[in-house]
């Protein structure tokens, strides 16, 4: 039975009340951070693989959607996926569990940004949480001409954000190094053959 109190339409956002239903307000005025995003999805039977657990591809699709939403929200423009790193499925996810994706822009270049996503899996009935996956997407912001466009540089504001920024920069260097080495191997194979 209801308490008679009006329901807060944005109860999930601490301290936020909207003046009128349907009125558009800015994220900033609600205190929502543009570089972070959280999404929770219930794992339904249509996502199952042949063994009855959740199909890895279904989770990959959700990860890509979360990375897109986080990047596009931060950049304020359309974004494309350039690469995905460190997707590992260490434990199965079961139908009926709740997946929460915690996404954050960790590092920015001129037009690209790294979005880190941590996946927390909740057994709704059992009441337990597991950290099942973490991965890193590189997203590129695109202008109306469908060419890469500059994004606002990320300004890490606390120790945690500074740590993520440094780690993101290190991963960017490692990706570039790996690309160089793989190219050298390909060149060798080409000259051998």
The binding site for ligand COA (CB under 6 A) comprises 80-82, 109-112, 140, 148, 175, 179
Residue 68 has a CB neighbour count (10 Å cut-off) of 19
CB-wise, 18 or 80, nearer to ligand COA? 80
Give the helix/strand (H/E) hosting 79.
Answer: strand 78-85
CB-wise, 42 or 176, nearer to ligand COA? 176
* Alpha carbon separation from 86 to 74, 118, 147, 183 (Å, rounded): 22, 11, 27, 20
Nearest-approach distance from CB 179 to ligand COA, in angstroms? 6
Nearest-approach distance from CB 36 to ligand COA, in angstroms? 20
**Which of 57, 55, 63 has the alpha carbon at shortest distance from 100?**
63
Q: Name the residue with the smallest CB distance to ligand COA.
A: 109
Nearest-approach distance from CB 118 to ligand COA, in angstroms? 22
CB-wise, 61 or 94, nearer to ligand COA? 61
Decide if 79 contacts 65 (C-beta within 8 A): no
Nearest-approach distance from CB 185 to ligand COA, in angstroms? 16
**175 alpha-carbon distance from chain centroid:** 19
* Alpha carbon separation from 171 to 54, 80, 86, 164, 168 (Å, rounded): 29, 19, 11, 10, 5
Place of tokens 């929460």: 100
Nearest-approach distance from CB 88 to ligand COA, in angstroms? 20
CB-wise, 43 or 103, nearer to ligand COA? 103
CB-wise, 55 or 175, nearer to ligand COA? 175
């Amino acid at each position: 039975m209801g308490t008679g109190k009006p329901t807060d339409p944005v109860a999930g956002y601490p301290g936020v009340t909207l003046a009128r239903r349907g009125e558009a307000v800015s994220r900033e005025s609600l205190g929502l951070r543009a570089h972070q995003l959280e999404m929770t999805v219930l794992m339904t039977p249509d996502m199952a693989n042949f063994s009855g657990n959740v199909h890895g591809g279904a989770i990959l699709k959700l990860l890509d959607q979360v990375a897109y939403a986080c990047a596009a929200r931060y950049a304020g423009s359309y974004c494309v996926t350039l690469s995905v790193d460190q997707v590992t499925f260490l434990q199965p996810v079961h139908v009926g569990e709740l997946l929460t994706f915690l996404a954050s822009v960790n590092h920015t270049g001129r037009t690209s940004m790294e979005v880190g996503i941590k996946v927390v899996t909740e057994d709704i009935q059992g009441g337990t949480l597991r950290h099942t996956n973490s991965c890193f997407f590189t997203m590129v912001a695109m202008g109306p001409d469908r060419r890469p466009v500059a994004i606002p540089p990320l300004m890490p504001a606390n120790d945690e954000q500074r740590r993520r920024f440094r780690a993101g920069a290190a991963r960017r260097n490692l990706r570039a190094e790996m690309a160089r080495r793989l190219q050298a191997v390909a060149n060798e194979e080409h000259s051998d053959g």
